[in-house]
Amino acid sequence: MKDIELRRYSRVVVDGDERAPGRAMLRAVGFTDDDFQRPQIGIASTWSMTTPCNMHIRELAEETARSADAAGGKAVVFNTISISDGISMGTPGMRYSLVSREIIADSIEAVTSAEGFDGLVAIGGCDKNMPACIMAMARLNRPAIFVFGGTIKPGAKRRDIVSVFEAVGAHSSGKISDAELLEVERTAIPGPGACGGMYTANTMASAIEALGMSLGNSSAQEAVSAQKLADCRNAGAAILHLIRNDIKPLDIMTRDAFENAIAVVIALGGSTNAVLHLIAMAREANVPLTIDDFTDIGARTPLLADLKPSGKYLMSELIEIGGIQPLMKRMLDHGLLHGDCLTVTGKSIAENLADVADYPSGQTIIRGFDNPIKADSHLAILYGNIAPDGAVAKITGKEGMQFEGTAKVFHSEEAALQSILDNKIVAGDVVVIRYEGPKGGPGMREMLSPTAAIMGKGLGAEVALITDGRFSGGSHGFVVGHISPEAAVGGPIALIEDGDTLHIDAGNKQINLAISDAEMRRRKKNWRRPPSSVTGGALAKYRAEVSSASAGAVTIPPAWDE
């Protein structure tokens, strides 16, 4: 392919006499005469010191840039934002977390388009910047690769961030002392990397690899490791291969590829957030995908990985036995993956997995198909009279498959958490947290603080929690989120009252309030939307544009469908 064809986008920015001003500015940031003849590679870095998930990514971006330069490109590193879910969790600041997914996608799209990059490598290490990178790649549809920043090393006594949240609940019920809580706080997070279980970051890294948008085992490497640096070097070289062969994201992100991603998420016991993010990513790629696809794929896909939060092992321990590629090879051999899907290697999934060795004998992290943790998906899409548009439950079977209890209703996460910590929630209660949906929050906060407090108090098997908000990948217990329509638009969850009986049946995919249709209509007639403290800024913009959780909580305007 001719050089000018490799510079499909950058030549518009730098070729010709009239582009001398632009070249002059680029010379100031290090371009030479020769660099103007090379394909320009944008390196989207999510580095920041706001979170350990991303604190090391500047070095990964620099390593990727050096490799892209050595392969014949001209790398340009640029940054986007990151918000820490773990730090903002349980505070009003958490409302910005899901909002940041849209901001990050917009910013990567804007910089890449404006600067005329011919290819893109995006490096993400936290829950929202990862799907955001893929959303931007789908919009841009120019050669692109995603690099996962890597998972964190375990803390002392195999602790992680969820250990701290659950210790708060244990402390409030007198199970551990002040000194013990402080010791957990001081030792749980030893350095850089994404939270250490199969929480949302590791879930999305695995999904993106299964989707075909990252190199093999990019999802299963520690943040600080020789393997992760090698991953960056390989990505820098691979992006030039994609440019030369004109392989673009929409060639890779097909319907079958998204089915592969969903299947791998289920086998790994991944986060409920994968439902939101994969639907949003598919929408950007013009691939039809709904919450019901998770039911269909889940019916034939077993839960095989014994990983935290509901399981025993950390991501670093899965890495030690080979990561997710041996699991994918097993799934391919059992007909659970589409092997002909193209990937960023330029080869198919089946070709990439052809020489992958199986897990070592005796390992207990990944179960066999004859002994699954659960025969079908742990992600249950529920419907019923309080969720006519659907809800997402995370039920591994360890919690039981059914729950009937008495509603205790809260209009915010903070109010619910305080009630839990004050020992006002007892066995048989269903904690209802509403007005926390995409519009109601606004921002659809994660309910890790209350779910972890319930677990820390030892009530995980005796108390359920339902919400129109969402959950951290670290949440476990009998939890149901994404209830749609949400309370802020008058959804039936807004009509639940203290003392009502709620029935949750994960086996039959049902969630219902035990009142008559006539009583539901009476309550609906009397319902009034509570006032919001949000009157402007990014949250108000998001509230005006965002879709329901069942549609991925995206902000693509309605005209997109016309």
- DSSP letter, residue 212: T
* Whole-angstrom distance, CA of residue 348 vs CA of residue 126: 27
**Tokens 């005006």, residue located:** 544
Across 1-21, b (16+ Cβ under 10 Å) vs e yields eeeeebbbbbbebbeeeeeee
Strand partners, 153: none
Amino acid identity of residue 155, one-letter, is: G
Of 33, 119, 47, 16, which is closest to residue 76 (Cα–Cα)? Answer: 119
- Cβ contact 181:453 at 8 Å: no
* Whole-angstrom distance, CA of residue 183 vs CA of residue 138: 44
Strand partners, 512: 503
* Whole-angstrom distance, CA of residue 344 vs CA of residue 216: 9
Sign for the pseudo-dihedral over CA of 40, 41, 46, 47 = negative
Residue 533 among the catalytic residues: no
* Whole-angstrom distance, CA of residue 291 vs CA of residue 552: 9
**97, 163, 472, 548: which one is catalytic?**
472
Q: What angle do CA 455, 485, 489 make, to 5 degrees?
A: 110
Rg for the chain (alpha carbons), in Å? 23
First to last CA, the chain: 37
* Whole-angstrom distance, CA of residue 368 vs CA of residue 418: 42
CA distances 66 to 63, 313, 513, Å, are 5, 35, 58
Instruction: Indicate which residues carry an active-site annotation.
Output: 472
